[in-house]
A = this chain, B = another copy of it.
């Protein structure tokens, strides 16, 4: 696969170009709405460290919900299986920001990748860390090797000012006794996590432990057990792309996590981490060109987990 990968990536970039203007850039906060839609980057990092990339693969962008994946990994490192007392592992079947299921299931979120679940995970981190946003940034610097990455304070503040829906969820969970920290504290951290900025190359490298039995590539250090790495991959496949996870698995067939900033991180077990970025979104909130690029990738390389 790797010998022809550089040209494969370029071919993908060429093929998705007509789609770049068709998606809709997220506009729920002004700071995201200003990103130009016509951008595309893609990066692949092999488990032995080789980097392949095309387009805007080194351009930092707002990782948004992709942060939910790394917040989960950090919580799993500190809490282990205790995490599953706070969130489930099932697809929700409803919108990522719905409160309906939360009511019938007494404030226990279905999985860590819907907003309610990510707020529960952030609550865990708020208990463990004085400043969970700094802890997550440290972790991502280490995983990506990019020591300069950080969250964008202006974006974080803007998210915070538009966080009524998340505040509703957090208060709702708290009303069921499922929130240990003050809602304001949890929302501050959550919004900062969403505002972290990374490039495709950063993210493709940061997920490598999930493709490599839980180990940091090129080191003896283990981020999490091989078994847990596999399980997080399963969770990404069933719940990682909002309420289009079934269709994404059907079309792409790779564990992945998307964000409304237009990024999608994915991986092939034992082979590589991937990340694609294009800000125009489809109706489900996933990058329109990004999903298409990943589908082309699995078609052209013949690689998927199925």
Contact = CB atoms under 8 A, between A and B. Distances in A.
Interface of A: 88-94, 98-104, 110-111, 164-165, 167-172, 174-175, 183, 227, 229-231, 233-235, 237-239, 243-247, 249-251, 253, 255, 269, 299, 304-306
Given A99-B103, A171-B171, A306-B234, A247 B165 contact: no
A304 B91 CA distance: 20
B244 A90 contact: yes
Interface majority SS (helix, strand, loop, mixed), chain A: helix
A235 to B, nearest CB: 6
B255 A234 contact: no
A237 B170 CA distance: 31
Assembly of this chain: how many copies? Answer: 4
Contacts of A244: 90
Nearest to A104: B100
Contacts of A92: 93
Contacts of A93: 90-94, 101, 110
B165 A90 contact: no
A232 B175 CA distance: 31
A170 to B, nearest CB: 8
A125 to B, nearest CB: 20
